[in-house]
Amino acid sequence: MTHAPHFPADFAWGVATSAFQIEGAAYEDGKGPSIWDKFCEDPTNIKDQSDGLIACDHYHRYSEDVEIIASLGLDTYRFSMAWARVQPDGKGAWNEAGFAFYDRLIGALQEKNIAAHLTLYHWDLPQALQEEGGWLSRDTAYHFAEYAREVARRFGHRVASIATHNEPWCTANLGHGNAQFAPGVADAKSAIQVSHHLLLSHGLAMTAMREVGSPAPLGIVLNQWTADPATDTQADRDMAELEYACSVQWFMDPIFKGHYPELALRAHGDKAPIIYPGDLQVIHQKIDFLGVNYYFRAFCSAENPPRSAPAVQGITDMGWEIYPQGLTELLLALHAEYQLPPIYITENGMASADHLEHGKIADEQRIAYVRDHLAALAAAMQQGVDVRGYFLWSLLDNFEWNSGYSKRFGIVHVEYATQQRTLKDSAMWYRDYCQQQRGVQPLLVAR
């Protein structure tokens, strides 16, 4: 038995979700279609041929879900807003019924003293905008800024933070680079241009939200990883350096340094993005916090076939190596390279093949995963990284994008046929861990 690390008394403990993955009610109360609604219409795009029409039915069951968060003693909740629910065409008229839903959700969180952390965009672009070019069009960045302005005007005084984007790397590379995600485009040049327009939209939205005087801290959420060479060969080291430049630095450098990384620009060659004068100044402005989503490291092998990561601590049900020390290494690298605002770990968790047996789900691997990543987070904080909170992904089993409902990330099991929620062992463990963090006695955890 060893002592768990001790986090600051004001450290925020929470869970995270996203709109398309849990809300359902895809066409209710005036909501317009999103690119994911359209993407799911082709069953070959989703591994189990499912869709998000009902998902976890959170649109109707949000009160129950807020009660679950409260029952776990958590003080923060991160969720996203469906743009097409509040503005069906992504421009023009607002949908008051859509805003009313988020008003009810935020109100329910306030009643339980749970801080609401809002993300404006978690991959679900209104389909109407996609039909006008989507993120390949600069116009979409300006429409996004107007959406951000309106949300901040309505809710900026009632939420604990507003993030512009969740994981723009995924929107660009999985949505436009390899067609794995909506809108299903496979074109490297398009992916790189989309990444620039996403960053531009972030900067424009930051300006717009500040213009309406939003008191909520404003930032962005990036998925990040270390890039480790598989061997000490020059080829593997070069591959790792380029991977880090094209992923982490590609988004961090424009925000914090005002330019794209030179190594990545050279590698992109004629696929480099079209950048208008003034774009980088718009992107390079102060943010109040940085959200970091961490799941795995990049293990870079130039061999053919490439070497597999050693996965000493196993792999998740997504096939991802479990590598908690990578979180320490990532945060220390960011801390050394950039002048950072406060950080939140806005997503961290694992998919496992959970089974409901006799009313219980014994997900010991998930408990070990979270415990070890929290220890890695504490190690980075002890070395000077300013981290203010941790959001476990995810509250609920949900629609896991192109994997459909076949992958379970939740600490709460969802029986989709009945919408029955059942707390997994990891939920009770996380509840007890957080309560112990707020108490006097340190928590003892098994090793």
Structure tokens at 379: 């190690």
Three-point CA angle 193, 256, 225, nearest 5°: 75
41 is an active site residue: no
Catalytic residue among 23, 167, 243, 400: 167
Structure tokens at 14: 């929470």
* Cβ pair 142, 204 in contact under 8 A: yes
User: Chain-centre distance of CA 394, in angstroms?
Assistant: 10
Report the first-to-last Cα separation within the chain, whole angstroms: 6
Q: For residue 51, which of 368, 292, 403 has the smallest C-alpha distance?
A: 403
Cα separations (Å) of 420 from 14, 225, 414? 22, 35, 6
> How far, in Å, CA of 121 to CA of 276, rounded?
23
The amino acid occupying position 412 is V
What DSSP state is assigned to residue 383?
T
167 is an active site residue: yes
Catalytic residue among 23, 243, 321, 347: 347
Judged by DSSP in three states, 96 sits in helix
**Omega of the bond prior to 201 within 30 degrees of 0, cis?**
no
Angle, to 10 degrees, between the axis of helix 96-111 and the axis of helix 58-71? Answer: 10
For the stretch 39-44, contacts whose Cβ atoms lie closer than 8 Å and that sit 24 or more positions apart, written own/partner, are: 39/181, 39/182, 39/183, 39/184, 42/184
User: Chain-centre distance of CA 272, in angstroms?
Assistant: 25
User: What is the helix (H) or strand (E) element at residue 78, kind and residue range?
Assistant: strand 76-80
**Omega of the bond prior to 306 within 30 degrees of 0, cis?**
no
> How far, in Å, CA of 93 to CA of 336, rounded?
45
* Cβ pair 121, 165 in contact under 8 A: yes
The amino acid occupying position 229 is P
Residues forming the active site: 167, 347
